[in-house]
Structure 1
Amino acid sequence: MQPAEDVFTHRASRPHEPLRTFHPRRAALGVDRADALDRLFPRWGFSVDDPRAAPPRTPGGRLDTVTLFGRHAPVVVEIGSGMGDATAAMAAADPDRDWLAVEAHLPGVAALLLLVERLGLTNVRVAHGDALRLLRRDVAPGSLDAVHAFFPDPWPKARHHKRRLVQAAHVDLLRDRLRIGGTLHVATDWADYAGQMRDVLGAEPDLDGGVVERPAHRPVTRFEQRGLDLGHAVTDLVVRRVR
């Protein structure tokens, strides 16, 4: 595998790329996080786009999670794991499942890698890049136990709503990647996005469920706490694939 600094400067050619559901942004890594990428990314990470840091694949070309994690276990995909606090806490509390965190921003990738090392977690891997691209291209239908998307970018301006993660076409993809009985758990602190989530998920005939109280297994993240401190109401929705 290539050194991290080479991998992360590579840009694959992607003509006709779909609209992104996240804000591309740059942020300084700092010494500790840059070191984490160099040391830990080759062990526990892979790139969605760079073939030099690609994940293991099955003979059919799909993501080989058995080789990736070194065992056969249910897999949870975390879309936009942020700085990794929630992912690390949930993975530590649920060691019988494997957790694949997909994050587009390098500081978050590095921060989660440091948590994995500090906590001695063996059931977490971190993908750098666009989660929807990974799911669409690399993840086999019916292969996931759960998909989580906690506080995705709300894209508050009406003209940007088409970039939101929770919309019909994306939910169809997520539902297809879940096993029968698998769950999709989303959360937001934007009221109008919560309404859109309810409408979109409620219109999917193969999904059953809706608004729930925050499950005890989902930690309150620092990002979420800032919203709560500002008086934002948080909505959790959990739906299960029924067919």
Structure 2
Amino acid sequence: MNDTAKPVGETDDLQIPHKRQIKSFVLRAGRMTTGQQRGWDECWQAWGLSLEQGTEGFLTAFTDPAPRVLEIGYGMGHSLVTMATQERDKQFIGIEVHRPGVGSLLNEARLAGIHNLRTYCDDAVEVLKQCVPDGSLSRVQIYFPDPWHKKRHHKRRLIQPAFIESIRPKLDIGGIIHLATDWENYAQQMLTVMNSAAGFDNLSTDHGYSPRPDFRPLTKFEQRGHRLGHGVWDLLFRRTGQEAV
């Protein structure tokens, strides 16, 4: 550590090319369970994708053409594996920053015997920027992202205008973005962001929230919330291709 004092008013700003991007996540240290480690050891080489592979890795992840669904922040991956099992005519690609969650997803996919699922273990912002070609996705889903419930932390929330703008070109025309949260305040912010976003139509008839579609499974956490009377808000928007100039 360099303790050399700087004169008053002198900073390192001129040496910094751009401000550090605020992260919507904090990496948690944690040991993998036996199953998670097995999923990583046995399946990552075949089903894992990396930033270094760029768009080529994304495009060649599957051999046959099919609609592609991208899920950002899938946690332990149980609902994503369920969707991939139920919709085998689609190709699912997940993004998760936490290695135990990735290991869990891979192990669950191995046990389910499915092959229409791939995953990144990285920052979704960078994956979208470096790997996902424009017009390549039929659906993007973001379920229960960290609500960062304290007001001073709202700037860390994932669903912001700039992030939605980065997703829009990745969707094919007619592609769907599906958001869900169990924090009403965050749901209101999501709705404001999406209703203001260029090139999207709200699939709700009243420009509000939508019923949970059948393709999104109920998680155990969500089922418990329903029993306790907690709300969950789903938002479904379709890309129109009519972006403002």
Matched, 1:147 2:150: no
Q: Which residue, out of 198, 222, 225, partners 1:224? A: 222
Q: Which residue, out of 176, 190, 200, partners 2:193? A: 200
Q: Distance in 2 between matches of 1:17 and 1:47?
A: 22
Matched, 1:39 2:42: yes
Alpha-carbon contact 2:58-2:132 (below 8 Å) kept = no
1:11-160 matches, cutoff 5 A: 17-48=20-51, 54-55=52-53, 57=54, 62-160=55-153
Alpha-carbon contact 1:190-1:232 (below 8 Å) kept = no
Q: Secondary structure, in 3 states, of the residue corresponding to 1:129?
A: coil
Q: Which residue of 2 aligns with 1:12?
A: none
Q: Which residue of 2 aligns with 1:179?
A: 172
Q: Which residue of 2 aligns with 1:7?
A: none
Q: Distance in 2 between matches of 1:68 and 1:106?
A: 20
Identity of aligned residues (%): 40
Alpha-carbon contact 1:83-1:111 (below 8 Å) kept = yes
Distance 1:229 1:25, change over 3 A: farther
Alpha-carbon contact 1:66-1:72 (below 8 Å) kept = no
TM-score by length of 1: 0.85
Q: Secondary structure, in 3 states, of the residue corresponding to 2:42?
A: helix
Alpha-carbon contact 1:78-1:148 (below 8 Å) kept = yes
Task: Give the Å deviation of 1:230.
Answer: 4.2
Q: Which residue of 2 aligns with 1:6?
A: none
Equivalent residue pairs, number: 219
TM-score by length of 2: 0.84
Task: Give the Å deviation of 1:30.
Answer: 2.0
Q: Deviations over 1:76-123 (max 9, x none)?
A: 110001111111111111111110011111111011101111111111
CA RMSD of aligned residues (A): 1.7
Segments ≥4 residues shifted beyond 6 Å:
none
Distance 1:63 1:22, change over 3 A: farther
Larger Rg: 2
* Residue ranges of structure 2 left out of the alignment (5+ in a row): 1-17
Q: Which residue of 1 aligns with 2:213?
A: 215
Task: Give the Å deviation of 1:238.
Answer: 0.4
* Residue ranges of structure 1 left out of the alignment (5+ in a row): 1-14, 49-53
Distance 1:190 1:89, change over 3 A: same
